[in-house]
A and B are shown apart, each in its own frame.
Chain A
Amino acid sequence: MTIDLLHFAPGQAFAGGLVIGLSVALLLLFSGRIAGISGILGGLLVRRPGPEQRWRAAFVFGLLASPVLYGMAVAPPLTVVATPLVQLILAGILVGFGARLGSGCTSGHGICGLARLSPRSIVATLIFMGAGITTVLVLRHFGGLR
């Protein structure tokens, strides 16, 4: 293993992390809700219209608007997605279905769950990190799709 010093940015990563944590804290202390994004999207997709839908929609709207605001205040975030379309679609379906089946994703289990030391979330986070690391290992180093 070699550390990627070219891209390693612990300060920026930590600062961004604090802002994410602040958002989680805000939603929990003011609204009593967990900022689990896959759960919020799942609720938006199926539940009947009502007050729960409105805060979910507002949260998703805030997320969608964030790159626009960041672009106006700082600079448009430059991200290049080099993944082939078929792989991207397969990945999206797995991420969506898996997160709902496992009752959470990086935000719900990884941040909100770990923050309250939930054993379920600790197990979920270890599993998805392990699965992600294994997938990248196979793809990059045993010549998979990419």
Chain B
Amino acid sequence: MTLFVAGLGGLLFGLGLIVSGMSDPARVIGFLDLAGTWDPSLAFVLAGALLPAAVAHRLARRRKFTLLGMPMRIPTPGSIDRRLVAGSALFGIGWGLAGICPGPALVLAGSGSAAGLAFLAALLAGIALYEVPRHGRP
């Protein structure tokens, strides 16, 4: 059941990215291009996504266990440190360079786009660059 929920979740997430235009790098660049002809559409994606997510979080916060009886795992609040600032800045630069973030990278790769596959390979390399020195090889 957990696997079904996760699979359905991934599928819905991907369909949402496609319908919203978020998986189209040109549209993402259009949103980030404040100085050019700005396409504010992606602000509406965020607004649409935050609505159900915020309601779900309010419900989840009152529960110890999920609807499937598993322990609820909500991140505990941490501090705003240098890692958060530096990591987010690097992430933002990469996002601006290609207009692709991790979710859309998977959608583009799944659609068979050569550029999407190349980006996904680089994305995984970037993640491994961080993870491997800390956790060892898989």
Q: Which residues of A contact B (CB under 8 A)?
A: 1-4, 6-35, 37-38, 41-42, 45-47, 51, 54-56, 58-71, 76-77, 79-83, 85, 87-103, 105-107, 109-112, 114-116, 118-120, 123-125, 127-137, 139-141, 145
Closest CB in chain A relative to B61 CB, distance in Å = 8
Q: Complex: how many Å from CA A82 to CA B16?
A: 23
Say which residue of B39, B93, B115 sits within 8 Å of A7 (CB atoms). B39
Q: Complex: how many Å from CA A118 to CA B124?
A: 27
The 5 closest A-B pairs by CB, nearest first: A17-B48, A62-B10, A16-B20, A96-B126, A102-B87
Q: Complex: how many Å from CA A4 to CA B29?
A: 12
The contact string, 1 if C-beta is below 8 Å from chain A, for chain B 19-48, is 111111111011011111111111111111
Q: A41-B127, A85-B118 are in contact. Are A7 and B27 (CB under 8 A)?
A: yes
In the bound complex, residues from chain A placing their C-beta under 8 Å from that of B138 are 45-47
Closest CB in chain A relative to B83 CB, distance in Å = 6
What's the interface size class on B, roughly? 35 or more
Say which residue of A67, A134, A140 sits within 8 Å of B36 (CB atoms). A140
Taking chain B's interface residues, is the majority helix, strand, or loop, or is none over half, making it mixed? Answer: helix
Q: Does A128 lie within 8 Å of B95, measured CB to CB?
A: yes
Q: A42-B131, A93-B125, A107-B103 are in contact. Are A35 and B67 (CB under 8 A)?
A: no
Q: Which residues of B contact A (CB under 8 A)?
A: 1-27, 29-30, 32-57, 59-61, 65-68, 70-75, 77-80, 83-103, 105-111, 113, 115-116, 118-132, 135-138
Taking chain A's interface residues, is the majority helix, strand, or loop, or is none over half, making it mixed? Answer: helix
For residue B59, which residue of chain A has the nearest CB?
Answer: A29
Closest CB in chain B relative to A93 CB, distance in Å = 4
Q: Does A127 lie within 8 Å of B85, measured CB to CB?
A: yes
Q: Does A7 lie within 8 Å of B50, measured CB to CB?
A: no
Q: Does B107 lie within 8 Å of A42, measured CB to CB?
A: no
Q: Does B12 lie within 8 Å of A19, measured CB to CB?
A: yes
For residue B132, which residue of chain A has the nearest CB?
Answer: A46
Q: Complex: how many Å from CA A47 to CA B44?
A: 35
Q: Does B103 lie within 8 Å of A37, measured CB to CB?
A: yes
Q: A16-B18, A124-B88, A132-B93 are in contact. Are A92 and B126 (CB under 8 A)?
A: yes
Can you identify 17 A-B contacts, CB atoms within 8 angstroms? A21-B49, A23-B9, A31-B6, A31-B66, A32-B72, A34-B74, A55-B3, A92-B118, A98-B89, A102-B83, A107-B13, A116-B54, A128-B89, A129-B32, A131-B96, A132-B32, A145-B97
Q: Does B131 lie within 8 Å of A45, measured CB to CB?
A: yes
